[in-house]
A and B are shown apart, each in its own frame.
Chain A
């Protein structure tokens, strides 16, 4: 009989009362880490591979400049273009004014150059020249980790 008594005891149920709280915690975590509105990149940027990489942890300081061949319909690519935020920059001098404005909003600005690996140095040098004139001197050449060497 004693056994029967034990059986009746062993009917534990997990309390689900705190479930919404746990879910909310997770929800809030993901809400905070989410960056909505990713820019649509209109140029192809296959990043080069490198070893000496540093992470940019402070994402709010980062401003991206994309450089690479323009994506055209039908998987073709066109001429090399520069893109900042949503717009393709046609006139190089605009880079300076855009970056100058961004720097006044965020003095610790880091410009991440996302350049396609098949680009030539000319366009990179032009953009760098404009960045120097704007005073945004902290840059980062965005690169992927070299997997082949590990």
Chain B
């Protein structure tokens, strides 16, 4: 009898919960310290698929192609004319928004291609600056288009797009940036 009684008494014991908050706090502090809430930001690109021998690349007429060439010394050649990184944005803007007006620039926004060619020894930093300028030109166009549609800017327009709906602005002004194979350098 005495053994049974003892056992019953033990079952009634309760776990003290007063220290629960402290334990949870400790865990919380651990995760607070180890958490890194950093979102990776970058310039997004889609590489062209591996070239197929049977299907030649689509022909792009010379006027639709805006050629940007950066050499190992960091000099910029824009449409075969010496230029600078700061001029790329305005050049891309006129090229894409030309709509066939000027014979030197593109026929229509959907046909306009921006081609960036580098050298193997070109500084990466300069390449990113160039790419940044090209993308900023497109962002500018998209922002203007979004404002004419009654949105505050392109980012707001895109965030309001429901899943499955076509992004009309990008459909109208597609960003076609091509990365050419670089020269072997030296």
What is the interface of chain A, defined by CB distance below 8 A to chain B? 16, 19-20, 23-24, 26-27, 30-31, 33-36, 38, 48, 50-57, 59, 62, 110, 112-113, 115-122, 124-125, 128, 131-133, 135, 137-145
Contact = CB atoms under 8 A, between A and B. Distances in A.
User: What bracket does the count of chain B residues touching chain A fall in?
Assistant: 35 or more
Contacts of B42: 50, 53-54, 56, 112-113, 140-143
B41 interface: yes
Interface class of chain B by DSSP: mixed
7 contacts: A23-B21, A34-B35, A51-B132, A52-B135, A128-B179, A138-B44, A142-B41
A135 B43 CA distance: 19
Contacts of B41: 53-56, 142-145
A82 to B, nearest CB: 13
Given A118-B124, A121-B118, A52 B21 contact: no
A31 B33 CA distance: 11
A51 B181 CA distance: 25
B111 to A, nearest CB: 22
Interface string B103-146: 00000000000000011111111011101100110110000000
A133 B50 contact: yes
Contacts of B131: 50, 52, 141
